[in-house]
Amino acid sequence: MHWRTLALVLVEHASAQTMMPMMRFSCSQLVVDRIDPLVNPGIVPSPHLHQIVGGNSFNASMDPATHDLPLTSTCTSCTFSEDFSNYWTAVMFFRARNGTYMRVPQIAEEGLRANGGITVYYIPSADNETKVTAFKPGFRMLIGDAGGKSPGEARKVCHRCMPASGDNSNLNCAAPDAQSFPMGFCVGGIRTVITFPTCWDGKNLDSPDHKSHVTYATGSKATDVGPTGKCPESHPVVIPQVMYEVLWDTRAFNNKDLWPEDGSQPFVWSTGDENGYSNHGDYVFGWKEDSLQRAMNARCNGDTCDVLKTQSSEEAMKCMLPRTVNEDIDGWLTTLPGSPIVF
Ligand SMILES: *[C@@H]1O[C@H](CO)[C@@H](O)[C@H](O)[C@H]1NC(C)=O
Ligand SMILES: *[C@@H]1O[C@H](CO)[C@@H](O)[C@H](O)[C@H]1NC(C)=O
Ligand SMILES: *[C@@H]1O[C@H](CO)[C@@H](O)[C@H](O)[C@H]1NC(C)=O
């Protein structure tokens, strides 16, 4: 089966299975840089490297009170041209036997055309009656823990060892997906999934830890797709489920002569984490006007949507930012950028 057809079948299958549509679209790489306007605003460089997609108004400060993403951006690397949000995660590196590091490239997922980056999902409610409330300007959130040393909230990140083509399961973060790095070669690369909460307190656009203003629905599971379960009284507003998928092209490193001789695995997050628990997803809302609410109300599916403006993959790929921090991030590096302590 052709890749594109297969991906469409998967989207349709997931929709049929869960009775819900899901927007799924690519955002090409905007920049790979050591800045983090959510956790370390104004600090250049930030402690570790991130890979970022979305609107090109992304910068180190992005003061929520004044920074208007749709107004300040002149392009977006995402498919829907009214989406100037920014989305970012940690970056994967390969560690060679001699202790040097090489950044692992990202590739687009099956059925999508992009320059690396992130596949972004917005999933409305499971039933047609529950209306989801789109985010407001200034809204931000974070999931995961850059210092995570043990398995955490299962939804924050999991790894899937991908087959050469075709996906092996419809449910993200269900076994054999794991929060730790896979222990063997993945012929189709390693896909990471990050799934955000679906309940908002309805008041705060952000919170000191960038997490407490949102929460997962009571009784929902890591493998649930979209807003399921009931939002608690503390966080009564149902928001779209945002989910990131990133496909890391580890294929060039699938060589037993390159892997550690002690049976361990060679990949490490830009945080310094060799186990896999420290990946994290950062989100800064930046859809123009009511475009996201329109798309949620219309229950748009896949990467086409009648009520949204779309740009070609070529246009999206042209939207890039120069790096702010001038340092070497490619080639064999003696330390990870920022030299985080390896754990
Ligand atoms: C980020 O962008 C805003 C809006 O254009 C600008 O006012 C601010 O100075 C920029 N900050 C940095 C650190 O570049
Ligand atoms: C370290 O190992 C890599 C991968 O085997 C190799 O390409 C690189 O040249 C080595 N670097 C040094 C300084 O030996
Ligand atoms: C929701 O509405 C769509 C379009 O009207 C319909 O095809 C679908 O069956 C409905 N789903 C449920 C769960 O009622």
Q: Which atom of ligand 1 is nearest to the CA of 60?
A: 13
In short, whether 128's Cβ falls inside 6 Å of ligand 3 is: yes
Q: Percentage of the chain surpassing pLDDT 90?
A: 81
Distance 47 CA to ligand 2 centre (A): 25
Q: Would you state the pLDDT for residue 168?
A: 62
CA 317 to the chain's CA centroid = 17
Q: Is pLDDT above 60 for 201?
A: yes
- Kindly give the distance from the C-alpha atom of residue 308 to the centroid of ligand 2, in angstroms, as a whole number: 48
Using the predicted structure, report yes or no on whether residue 4 has a pLDDT greater than 60: no
Residue 2 has pLDDT above 50, yes or no: no
- Domain of residue 101 covers 1-343
Residue scoring higher pLDDT (15 or 78): 78
Q: Is the pLDDT of residue 12 over 60?
A: no
Average pLDDT of the segment spanning 306-322: 98
Atom 10 of ligand 2, nearest CA residue:
98
Q: Give CA–CA dist 125/238, Å, rounded.
A: 8
Q: How far is the CA of 99 from the centre of ligand 2 (A)?
A: 8
What total number of domains does the chain contain?
1
pLDDT given for residue 19 in this prediction: 57
Atom of ligand 1 nearest to the CA of 44: 13
- 239-266 residue pLDDT tens: 999 999 999 999 999 999 999 999 999 9
> What's the sign of the alpha-carbon dihedral 201, 203, 205, 211?
negative
Does ligand 2 come within 6 angstroms of the Cβ of 96? yes
Give the number of the ligand closest to the Cα of residue 42: 1
Residues above pLDDT 70, as percent of the chain: 94
How large is the C-alpha radius of gyration of the chain? 19
The pLDDT value given to residue 126: 75
Residues in contact with ligand 1 (CB, 6 Å cut-off): 59-61, 67, 72
The reported pLDDT for the residue numbered 56 is 98
**Contact (Cβ atoms closer than 8 angstroms) between residue 269 and residue 92:** yes
Task: Give the model's pLDDT for residue 156.
Answer: 84
- pLDDT band for position 155 (50/70/90)? confident
What are the angstrom distances between the C-alpha of 269 and each of 192, 292, 305, 319?
12, 32, 35, 26
pLDDT band at 225 (very low <50, low <70, confident <90, very high): confident
Question: What pLDDT sits at residue 16?
Answer: 43
Question: Does the Cβ of 127 fall within 6 Å of ligand 3?
Answer: yes
Burial of 71 (0-12, 13-18, 19+ CB in 10 A): exposed
Please determine, for residue 306, whether its predicted confidence score (pLDDT) is greater than 70. yes
* Residue 224: predicted pLDDT: 82
Instruction: Look at 125 and 186; give whichever has higher pLDDT.
Output: 186
> Model's pTM, two decimal places?
0.93
Q: What pLDDT is recorded for position 8?
A: 43
Atom 5 of ligand 3, nearest CA residue: 128
